[in-house]
Structure 1
Amino acid sequence: MVVGSLVNWFAARQAVKGGTSGGRYTKLEKNIPQIRRKKAWERAGEDKESWFKRKYAHIHAREKFEQVRDPFGKKKAHEDRLTMIEKRNKVQRDEHEKKFEKRSAIQGLKVNPLMEYVYGTNGVLAALQANKREYYTRVLHYGVLPRSIAKLAEDKDVKVEESDKHRLNLLTNYAVHNNVVLETKPLQPDELSHLQMCNPETGTFQYTEMVLENDYASRESRYLVNENKKFPLGVYLDEIVDPHNIGAVIRSAYFLGADFIVMSRRNCAPLSPVVSKTSSGAVELIPIFYADKPLNFFSKSQEEGGWAFVTSCLAKSDSRSTKYTRGKTLELSDLNGMCKELPVMLVVGNEGSGVRTNIKMRSDFFVEIPFGRSDVTGSETPVDSLNVSVATALLLNSLLRSSL
């Protein structure tokens, strides 16, 4: 402050005097010593940029890993408060959304994966009458329950529950359930090893059941005897994969008088509620067996029981099967009265490829249903065969008719 005043006074004085020689002014700062503190980089003999890089370059990186100092916990308390508010808002939002969420179509409907749901009036009635299943859980119905089903359910102590139609649709996959569904244990057919001898006088035949892998038991079963049938008649299903076809075959076999059904376990469709519905409950009324080893079943049944295996096939469809069918082909009329002479197993095959070759090799006879339209002979037509269930019904009818 004093230096500044002195400079101003000296400048004013020089102006009054008219200046120094030559008309130039002399600055007072040059004659007064300047006191200035040296900078740190100047004392170190470095330029500013180099000094700062050497001195403070590591500070920023270290701060990244150092915990922020919060000696009084104010920052943590603030963060906790914000977290609590966020959680409270989320809970309120979730509760609000639940009031307007779209309810699931099967909400409240508990389906037991270990059970199956037999549907249809005839199927449910037959299942309760036959009593072949291990146990029954409940009968679900919509509207008036048929009196016969209600009486059987009461006798067997089966719970009866009234339900809505939508739930029944879900349980049956929108099938035609006739407003009644039975929750029950699935059918468990016996494992058949092979067939044995028959006794026409008593109307019984023997068979060997596979209890365990290497444990067998001999069983006896009755069969139907009438004027056209002295020996038993069975139907073997080989690789039929459509459950509707299996149900239709079982229904025809039961209605026409066949005694039992044998199915290849690994290739056929299972005995599902669809089969029960299509068979109109016949799956509960006719004995059904599984054969895990078909070739062994054929061979031993022929050797020990004298059973004749008649296979349905199209002789003209596969030239390779000619060597198996040569000398063994029967006309449809040749089947008439066969069940009066010997026990018969009718073999029917897959909807597309028919009976497998290894099964044909072990068959005793072959039969083909003739094509009845002579006007298209020699020309290609998409309708060149019958449905397996229809063909089975025709063959069974021929076997069960007496010869003329």
Structure 2
Amino acid sequence: MIKIEGRNPVIEALKSERNIEKVMIAKGTTEGSIKKIIGMAKDKGVVVQYVDRKKIDEISESHAHQGVVAMGNDYRYYELEEIIDIAKQKNEDPFIVILDEITDPHNLGSIMRTADAVGAHGVIVPKRRSASITPVVAKASAGAVEYVPLCKVTNLVKTIKKLKEHGLWIAAADMNGQNYYKQNLTGPLGIVVGSEGAGISRLVKENCDFTVKIPMVGNVTSLNASVAASIMLYEAFKQRIETKEG
């Protein structure tokens, strides 16, 4: 079982097909979206427990529970082929986010939230040296973890090669690349984003088809990984919309 913490994450979990065992609500918390959560839980036959806020504080991992924690079955990780199939079923060019050693759960959650917003078909992370889905990630994603497939792979380089076999072009976000808005980001695409400190590893970068950068003129030489990912993903999203509209 996994804890789902915060109002939006719990609402999205109740909307989804996830099996929710119970919802715990801090006593005296009944305003606004809490009423909606209680109603949704009752409609689905989910047990609602009213407990002391101190109890929720003790079990919370995100420390941002907003007076509500749900207990549900573990998140399902997807296989690479499943993500490709999702794009095929939607009759869309695959649009995939690849994260190279993003270990901060807040960054992973924020990136998954943006991936959901732009219609990306999935996010790929390595099994080692990467954040996984936790209550902190779920909270940072505002519930997007319920909708964005996450795939954990053993080797990113081999995964990139497989994606190429499926016709994807792989773009690396790197400061030595071309300005991101000048590059064609339409069609089957994977965008690789690295950690703030180390960036994208050498072997991963060497196996990408091209590199794109976000130009900066300030004194700080890098952006937060989730901010950089959002800029890149929205540019790809914009170009895709423009292509559809002709």
TM-score calculated relative to the size of structure 1: 0.55
Q: CA-to-partner distance for each residue in 1:179-211, whole Å, 9 max, x for gaps?
A: 111012221212326976x8xxxx942xxxxxx
Q: 1:300 to 1:256 in 2, by over 3 A?
A: closer
Q: CA-to-partner distance for each residue in 1:121-175, whole Å, 9 max, x for gaps?
A: 00001111122x3x32210002217233223222332111001100010111471
Q: Partner of 2:99 in structure 1?
A: 237
Unpaired runs of at least 5, structure 1: 1-114, 206-220, 226-230, 316-328, 374-380
Largest Rg, 1 or 2: 1
The answer as to 2:109 corresponding to 1:247 is: yes
Alignment of 1:74-153 (within 5 A): 115-131=1-17, 133=18, 135-142=19-26, 143-144=29-30, 146-153=34-41
Higher RCO, 1 or 2 (CA under 8 Å, sep at least 6)?
Answer: 2
Identity %: 30
One of 60, 65, 69 as aligned partner of 1:181: 69
One of 186, 193, 198 as aligned partner of 1:353: 198
RMSD: 2.3
Once residues 87 and 229 of structure 2 are traced to their aligned partners in structure 1, the CA distance between those partners, rounded to angstroms, is: 24
Which amino acid in the other structure matches residue 12 of structure 2? A
The answer as to 2:141 corresponding to 1:279 is: yes
Once residues 195 and 153 of structure 1 are traced to their aligned partners in structure 2, the CA distance between those partners, rounded to angstroms, is: 30
Between 1:278-287 and 1:149-158, the stretch displaced more is 149-158
Q: Partner of 1:79 in structure 2?
A: none
1:280, distance to aligned residue in structure 2 (A) = 0.6
One of 222, 232, 235 as aligned partner of 1:398: 235
Q: 1:126 to 1:330 in 2, by over 3 A?
A: same
Once residues 265 and 282 of structure 1 are traced to their aligned partners in structure 2, the CA distance between those partners, rounded to angstroms, is: 20
Q: Partner of 2:132 in structure 1?
A: 270
Once residues 193 and 201 of structure 2 are traced to their aligned partners in structure 1, the CA distance between those partners, rounded to angstroms, is: 10
- Where 1:117 maps in the other structure, the secondary structure is strand
Question: Is residue 194–residue 300 contact of structure 1 (8 Å, CA) maintained in 2?
Answer: no
Question: Is residue 335–residue 398 contact of structure 1 (8 Å, CA) maintained in 2?
Answer: no
Which amino acid in the other structure matches residue 166 of structure 1? K
One of 193, 210, 216 as aligned partner of 1:365: 210
Q: CA-to-partner distance for each residue in 1:275-297, whole Å, 9 max, x for gaps?
A: 01011111112222222232221
1:232, distance to aligned residue in structure 2 (A) = 2.8
Unpaired runs of at least 5, structure 2: none
The answer as to 2:189 corresponding to 1:344 is: yes
Q: CA-to-partner distance for each residue in 1:66-95, whole Å, 9 max, x for gaps?
A: xxxxxxxxxxxxxxxxxxxxxxxxxxxxxx
Q: Would you tell me which structure has more strand in proportion to its own residues?
A: 2
